[in-house]
Each structure stands twice: as structure tokens, then as C-alpha cells.
Structure 1
Amino acid sequence: MQSYLTTIAAALGAAAIALVVVEVIHRVVRRLGRRSLLMTELTDHAHRSFQLAATVLAVQLAVRFSTGYAVGTGWRQVVLHTLVLALVAAVAWLVASLLVVIEDTALARFRVDVPNNRHARRVRTQVVLLRRLTIAMIVVLAVGVMLMTFPAVRGIGAGVLTSAGVVGVVAALAAQSLLGNVFAGLQLAFSDAVRLDDVVVVEGEWGRIEELTLSYVVVQIWDDRRLILPTSYFTSKPFQNWTRTEAAVLGTAEFDLDWSIPVQAMREELRRLVESTELWDGRVCVLQVTDATGGMIKVRALVSAADAGSLWDLRCLVREHLVGWVRDHRPTALPRLRTELGDASGTLPWQWVQPRRPVRRLADPEMPDDARVFGGSDDGDARSEAFVGPEEHAESRR
């Protein structure tokens, strides 16, 4: 009984001393590291794990040196073995906390709340995935070390090694899908195909990459739904990434109108509209007739915006405004199916009449800039160059 009381008192005293020492170190580090991000992260994330590891280590040393080998051998071995398991778990937690501190400190250098954040989002994606992988490895190693402390596990090691080949094949077949997703996640992180906060279109849904793990990807759809896909989806199926190189994108609004629509007047109205809204980034404003079949023409307005959200609002604004403009100012250009009765001398607006004078068509050099997608501006010229093959480049240089 005296041995038991001595051991308990020694353990409590060692735990109290460890807690006091850790608290003193914690306060000193916090005071010295007020201007250091690394010290602040250490005090915030590694304090509890360091406290637990130091306390378990102190209790183990107290139990080991306060009891003799001849006294209470059975319970002493059980207590010491339990403390070893607790120490392994606490050290694993401490190591994981230190890795998280280092990764958070590294991530603080890369801001994602700035307009040009493509590089920062790529680094953040890679670091987050590496964090998950390292924590998983630490947990596996800790569990392995804890199992190796049992003599029975070490005794059957030879038998496990002899059957490792068969077990490995079975495990590989059983975990084929899981391992495929893990490798797909690593491939996504380091191939830069998709990053956190990228705007993508998958399965017909438009959204933002909200979370990217080793096994699945969470896409936040524009209406706040969540689309959860395995990481292997992004390595095996095509998808659209609107922010692969930059956030600025182009969008269209199409209209089916009658042949009598004055295209140039509609083009000027589109230009006046986009120049009056902050949604337009000033790059592209083009209106073209893209089709003329079935008794109607298809007019397409092509505009640009700084990001996908602004583009959506800008397309809706263009569609709403031009629909109202056609209805109020050019009602005869509304789409209709006509049946004309009478002769060519009719004067009604929907009947064909011979023009009073020949309509002057703009020659190609006079084509306005907002009527050309591939040319007419610096952005249009750059877009035209991107679709010219190497032979055509060489001929143009000659």
C-alpha cells in the first residue's frame, strides 16, 4: 500500500510540475512572439498537444523511478505500458500540430483575397492536400508503433511477412477505388488542373471549388447547393475551368429576331449599355448576326467581365435591356411567322416594300470594332492570333 501511495504521489507531483513548466513556457513564448506569426501559431495550435505530451512523459518517468522492479511487478508493467501508448499518441498529436503550424505560417504568405490570386490558390491547394496526407501518415505510423509494443504482435511478425504478398494483392483489389482517388487528388494538386476557388462547370452545373481532398471534391453551385464528386472524376472526364489562367471570361446573349431588325442600331445600343455599367471590364463588346434561317435571324451579343459572377449579371442585364429596346423601339423586328396577302404595293409595316433608295453597306475597312470578335481591337487581334496555325503565321510574316 505504501508503494502504491508513493507512486500515486510521485505521478501527481510530476504531472503538476509538467503543467506548470508548460504554462510558463507558453506564456513566455506568447509574450516574446507578439510580432511573430510563427510564435503566435505555436501558442495557438501546439499548446494543448505539448501540454499532454509533457504531462504523460513526466508521469511515466515518475512511475518508472518511484517503484522497484521487485515490488508490484504486474501492475507496474500494465501502468507503464499504458503510459507508453499514451505517450506515443501524444507525440503523434504534437508532431501533427507542429506540421499544421508550419503549413499555416507558409500559407500566410499567399493571400487569396486579392484579384490576382491564381498562384496563391495553387499553393494553398497543394499545401492543404499535403497536410491531409501527412496527418494520415502520422496516424498510421503512431498506430503501428503502438501495436509493436505488444509482444504478441511482434511474435506473429514472421507469419505476417510470409503472407504479405497474398494480403497485399487482396488489399490492393479491395482498395483500388480508394487508392485511385488518393492518387487522383495528388495529381490534381500538383498538375494545376484545378485549384481551390476555381470556377468550373461540371455535370451541367456552374460553381466554385469549395473543398478539395484526397478522395472527393466539393463544388459549391451558384445556388448554394453542394455537388460532391470523387477526385478521379476530374482526371477521367472533361470539365470546364473558367479561371484556369485568369478570372476574366466572355459570355453571350442570343436573340431570335425578324429580318427587319437594324443591326447597327442594336449594336450601338449594346455599346451604350455596357459603357454605362460597372459590370463590364472594357475588353469585349461585340454584336453579330450568327445565323439567318427559318425566317428569322440569330443575333448574338458577346461581352466580357472580370469574373464569372459579374459576367452572369452582365449577360442578364444585356438580355433584359435589349429585349425591352426591341419591344419599345423596333416592334416590327419582333420574331413572327408571317403570311402576307396582297401585292407588293402594300404600305403596312409588316409588308414588304421596295426601299426608297439603295442601302449603303459598310465596306470591310469601315466595319465597326463592336462587330468583330477576331480583330478590331487589341484583345480581338490577340484572340485572332491564338487561332492561326503555324503555317499561316509563317505566311503572314512573309
Structure 2
Amino acid sequence: MEDVLRPLVVFGGALVLAWLIAWAADRALHRLDARHPETPMWELLRRGRVPLQAVLFVTLVRGFFGSTRLAKNDRETVDLWLTVIIIGASAWLILRILAAITETVASRYAGVALDPARARRVRTQLTLIQRLVTAVVSVIAAAAVLLQFPGMETFGSSMLASAGVLGIVAGVAAQSTLGNLFAGLSIAFGDMVRIGDTVIVDDEYGTVDEIAISYLVVRTWDERRITMPVSYFTSKPFENWSRGGSQLTGTVYFHLDHLAPIEEIRSKTEELVRANDHWDGRSWSLWVTDTTPTTIEVRAAATARTADDVWTLRCDLREQLLIWLRTEHPYALPGIRLAQDAQTGPDRVTTADLSKSEV
């Protein structure tokens, strides 16, 4: 009977005590969260309740396992695996605490920062630091687990003999990985690109959705995700439409006939721009920027608050001006000149005329 009661008391007592301590810590964090609603740290720290219970339970079991009189001949093996579990649970708890601290700092800074770009910069830096620390903690935990096994010491001693050759091989093999690692740190603290920035990379327009230690994810306008190594952004040029402020100037180009009424088009452009909700009120313009033997190039420009607004403004302006030109001044659209008459001027056939003749 005693052989049954001893394990029950040890395991049951460890479970109850671990649950009580974790419950008390959770209640204390809940009260702190109620007293300080301005910071989410205390609520986020409550996510560590389960790993805290695991650490406490396994630590108590390991400390009192001898009292159970179980596995007397395999005590070293049991202690070994209990230690491995403690290391894993402790790493889990540390990562939960780290995530809570990172999210708290990012949210508090975002709440007080007047510049959204600086808030995105801080979030990017914190995200990369969190992932770097996560990698370090994971490596340390894995190394601590491996060192618990006696065989690993012999393995490590044999590897030291060829450390020079292995170092060269590892350096060559990890060149790309290390390059991306340092590129990620350069991005985080060099402020080249941040989470939420609007960028154009390889002719793809999108928003930076995620920045990891070795890669970066761009979400395109059609909701595709492009994953690229972070070293790309330190070695090749790219457009960052959010750097230095989110305000942009959008341009729309038209190829019109030489007879196009520029002043009327300029007046209509002003009317359309001022009536558009996406215009930020800063500036607009319309100029003839180039000529060819058959057409002129007209550029309409207008400013907007964000990249999304400037895209919509450009599309609206292009569509509305084309409709107005087709309705009010169809002769201003490019046509094909058939003949030249010194008295009557050139005869022209527009696209609309060609469509009617085919019918």
C-alpha cells in the first residue's frame, strides 16, 4: 500500500502545488492588468501560465522523485529526462515572457509616437530582435539538452580535432545564411525598409508584411505573398514609397492629337482633381511633356496622402478624362492621318471612325 501512496502523494502534491502557484501568479497578473489598463504586458504575461505550471511540476517531481521509490535502478535515466523536460519548459516560458515584453513595448510606442513611420520602424526592430533572441534561446536550450547525454562529450572531443577544417567548411556553407542574418540586422537598424512600408520590388507593387532574420515577405495588391532574402534589399535598388513620409504625387500620361484643346483639358483636370476625395489638396498640374510627328504627350499630376490613395486617384483621373475627351472632344484622341491638303488641312480617321467603317 505504501508503494502506491508514495507516488500518488509526490505526483499529486507536485501537480496541486504547481497549479496553485501558477493560479496565484495568474490572479496577481489579472489584478495588475485591471489596475493598469494602459499597458497590455500583464495580460500578455498570463499566456505563460501553462509553461510555468510545467516547470514547477517537473521541478517538484524531480526533487522528490527519490521518495516514490520508483525505478531505483534507472534513477539516472529518469533524472536525465526530467532535466530535459525542465530545459524545454523553461525555454518555452522565457519565449512567452519575451513575446509579452516585445508586444508591450511596440504597442506603447505606437500609442505615443506621432510619426507612424517611426512606430513601424520600432516594431520592425523589435520583431527582428525577438526572432534573433528566440533563435539564441532555442540554440542554447538544444545545446543544454544535448550536453545532458554523456555520449555528446565524446562526440564533442572528437570534433575538436578537425575544428579548423570544419570551420572553413561551415564558413563557406553558411556564407549565404550569415549574409542574410547581417542584412536583417542592417534592415532593422538602418531604417531601409519597415513592416507596413509600400515598396516596388522587381516591378511588383506591395506592402511589407513580415520581416524575419533571413527573409522578407511582401504582400502584393492582389494578395500574393512574395518571399525574398533580406540580402536583396541591401544589394539591389528598390522603391520605398513610405520612406520620408507617405505623401506621394501620382502621374497620368495621355497621347493626344496635336489639335487637342490643352486649356480646356487643364480646366477639366482641375475640376476632376478638386472633386476627388483622394486628393490631399496640396498640388496638381497638367503639362505637355513631349511631342511626336503624330501625337503630343500630356502629363496630369496630383498629390495624395498615401500610396493607395494616389493609385485610386490616378485611375479615377485617367478614366474620367478619357470619357470626357471621347464625349466632348473626340478629335483630340489620336487618329490616323490619310492625306495632307494645303487649304483644308489634314484628313484624319479616328479609332471610332475605323470601328464604324468595319460595321
Name the TM-score, length of structure 2 as normaliser: 0.89
Q: Look up the match of 1:60.
A: 62
Matched, 1:41 2:44: yes
Q: 1:61 to 1:331 in 2, by over 3 A?
A: same
Q: Look up the match of 1:30.
A: 30
Letter of the 2:50 partner, please give it: R
Distance 2:164 2:178 in 1: 18
Shift of 1:311: 0.8
Letter of the 2:297 partner, please give it: K
Q: 1:88 to 1:96 in 2, by over 3 A?
A: same
Distance 1:243 1:347 in 2: 50
Letter of the 1:277 partner, please give it: N
Q: Look up the match of 1:359.
A: none
Letter of the 1:46 partner, please give it: G
Name the TM-score, length of structure 1 as normaliser: 0.81
Q: Look up the match of 2:184.
A: 185
Shift of 1:114: 9.2
Bigger helix share: 2
**Tell me, which stretches of 5 or more residues in structure 1 are unaligned?**
352-398
SS at match of 2:183: helix
- Please list, as runs of the form range in 1=range in 2, the aligned pairs for 1:132-211 lying within 5 A after superposition: 132-211=131-210
SS at match of 1:200: strand
* Deviation by residue 1:136-195 (Cα, 9 ceiling, x = unmatched): 110100111111122222244433323222222222222222222222111111111100
Distance 2:82 2:133 in 1: 25
Q: 1:255 to 1:113 in 2, by over 3 A?
A: farther
Shift of 1:112: 8.2
Shift of 1:266: 0.9
- Please list, as runs of the form range in 1=range in 2, the aligned pairs for 1:1-398 lying within 5 A after superposition: 6-36=6-36, 37-43=40-46, 45-64=47-66, 66=67, 73-111=72-110, 116-344=115-343, 346=344
* Higher Rg: 1
SS at match of 1:247: coil
Letter of the 2:238 partner, please give it: F
* Deviation by residue 1:109-155 (Cα, 9 ceiling, x = unmatched): 13389994100000000101111110111010011111112222224
SS at match of 2:109: coil
Distance 2:215 2:340 in 1: 64
* Deviation by residue 1:231-277 (Cα, 9 ceiling, x = unmatched): 11111111111111111111111111111112122111111111111
2:284 touches 2:300 (CA, 8 Å); kept in 1?
yes
How many residues in Structure 1 have an aligned counterpart in Structure 2? 346
Distance 2:4 2:179 in 1: 54
Letter of the 1:14 partner, please give it: A
Aligned CA RMSD, in angstroms, stands at 2.4
1:14 touches 1:58 (CA, 8 Å); kept in 2?
yes
2:10 touches 2:65 (CA, 8 Å); kept in 1?
yes
1:201 touches 1:241 (CA, 8 Å); kept in 2?
yes
1:289 touches 1:297 (CA, 8 Å); kept in 2?
yes
Letter of the 2:217 partner, please give it: V
* Deviation by residue 1:296-355 (Cα, 9 ceiling, x = unmatched): 1110101111111111111111111111222222222221121335441x389969xxxx
Identity %: 38
1:107 touches 1:124 (CA, 8 Å); kept in 2?
yes
1:216 touches 1:231 (CA, 8 Å); kept in 2?
yes
Distance 1:115 1:340 in 2: 64
